[in-house]
Amino acid sequence: MKATLKDVAAEAGVTVTTVSRVLNNRGPISEKTRRKVYDAINKLDYRPNEAARSLGKKRTNVIGVIVPSIANPFFSELVNHLEAYAFSKGYHIELCNSYHEEYKEKEYLSLLQENRVAGIIISSRTEDIGKYLTDRLPVVSFERIINETTAAVTCDNYEGGKLATEHLLHCGCKHLAAFQIKSGVPMSADKRIDAFRDTCKANGIEFKIFQATESQFQSMRFQDFSMEILKKQKGIDGFFIPGDVAAIQFITACQKCGIRVPDEIQVVGFDDISMATWVHPQLTTIHQPIEQMSKIAVNTIIDFDPNSFIPLQSVLPVSLIERESTRSLT
């Protein structure tokens, strides 16, 4: 027999009202009580009827999440933080993997809106995505400012690029280079290379910027691309690579080309994903506060009030994490 709300309350030793409050994330509930209710739900295999629950409040306790590629470790960590925090607040996520396809992003947006999700968190690469967003529910853009009417959460990409470049200079590098992603869509991450260029010019440093396609940068093909650059370009002693997945592949490319990191070339990445400590030498990188950014995105959706919603665009600070792929002179 299917478990009921009353069964869950009896198993947890609380009232039906308390169970309802936990499921709907309403009212002050202690973590101990919340855990007892969820333990009872798991034991009894209780499945709340989301459709019925949504009738009164016109939306479910589900948050839609659209990312370009769950295979990318950055987005895997992002989804992990989003799910954990959403669950702690009584919400669940519905994950949509767009594979960088515009038509999939648009189709997922339509599907999530039809399913009356509580809101949508999206990391979009689609140029005209703003036309497909609705004001009927909150949408939070991750690491991209779509328009002034859409909430967004980003890190301070310009400051991160500046910190990375200044660190390479502080480590004694004289000839710098960076990779720029050609995505065709203005992204917040573009400011990383803007800062690299500005900082080099301000310090009178010779530099080069190599163009990479987004498919090269986001996939595991960046290693081969890096090897082509390393074989053709000589004399560069410091690279800023604005993404850890690519930076890790670049270090591997250096090793395959017989180039020692950091003795011959020093490398700084961006994001500070877990994999940054798995590579040898460990990657010096810019820490992006993904966990804090995830909490802001989820809270923006939970706190949504259509009568007073102001689409805030939050910019969070970054910091330099110095590891083994650079060698400080002090």
Query: Rounded to whole angstroms, how far apart are CA atoms 66 and 257?
Result: 37
pLDDT tens digit sequence for 41-91: 888 878 766 544 544 456 789 999 999 988 889 999 999 999 999 999 999
User: Which of 139, 141, 116 is closest to 59 using CA atoms?
Assistant: 116
Q: Do 95 and 264 contact (CB within 8 A), yes or no?
A: no
Q: Do 227 and 233 contact (CB within 8 A), yes or no?
A: no
pLDDT tens digit sequence for 23-51: 766 667 787 888 888 888 888 878 766 54
Q: What is the pLDDT of residue 328?
A: 80
Q: Do 62 and 91 contact (CB within 8 A), yes or no?
A: yes
Q: Are residues 283 and 311 in the same domain?
A: no
Q: Check which CATH number belongs to the domain holding 306 and give it.
A: 3.40.50.2300
User: Which of 134, 162, 157 is closest to 145 using CA atoms?
Assistant: 157
Q: Are residues 174 and 211 in the same domain?
A: yes
Q: Is 260 buried (19+), middle (13-18) or exposed (0-12) by CB count in 10 A?
A: exposed
Q: What is the pLDDT of residue 76?
A: 94
- Compute the 3-state secondary structure of the chain and give helix, strand, coil in percent, each to the nearest 5: 45, 20, 40
Q: Count up the domains in the chain and report the number.
A: 3
Q: Do 192 and 157 contact (CB within 8 A), yes or no?
A: yes
Q: Are residues 216 and 285 in the same domain?
A: yes
In terms of phi and psi (left: phi > 0; alpha: psi -120 to 50; beta: otherwise), the region of 66 is: beta
Q: Are residues 118 and 142 in the same domain?
A: yes
Residue 121 has pLDDT above 60, yes or no: yes
Q: Residue 325 domain-assigned?
A: no
Q: Residue 245 domain-assigned?
A: yes
Q: Are residues 132 and 249 in the same domain?
A: no
Q: What is the pLDDT of residue 207?
A: 96
Q: What is the pLDDT of residue 192?
A: 97
Q: Are residues 176 and 151 in the same domain?
A: no
Q: Do 165 and 196 contact (CB within 8 A), yes or no?
A: yes
Q: Do 226 and 245 contact (CB within 8 A), yes or no?
A: no
Q: What is the pLDDT of residue 51?
A: 46
Query: Rounded to whole angstroms, how far apart are CA atoms 117 and 93?
Result: 9
Q: Are residues 222 and 190 in the same domain?
A: yes
Q: Are residues 199 and 253 in the same domain?
A: yes
Share of the chain above pLDDT 90, in %: 55
Q: For 6-10, 156-160, 190-194, which range has the lowest pLDDT when averaged over its residues?
A: 6-10
Average pLDDT over residues 284-288: 98
pLDDT tens digit sequence for 124-170: 888 888 888 877 789 999 999 988 888 999 999 999 999 999 999 99
Contacts of 10 (CB under 8 A, 6+ apart): none
Q: For 6-10, 132-136, 170-174, 195-199, which range has the lowest pLDDT when averaged over its residues?
A: 132-136
Domain extent, residue 161, equals 157-289
Q: Residue 137 domain-assigned?
A: yes
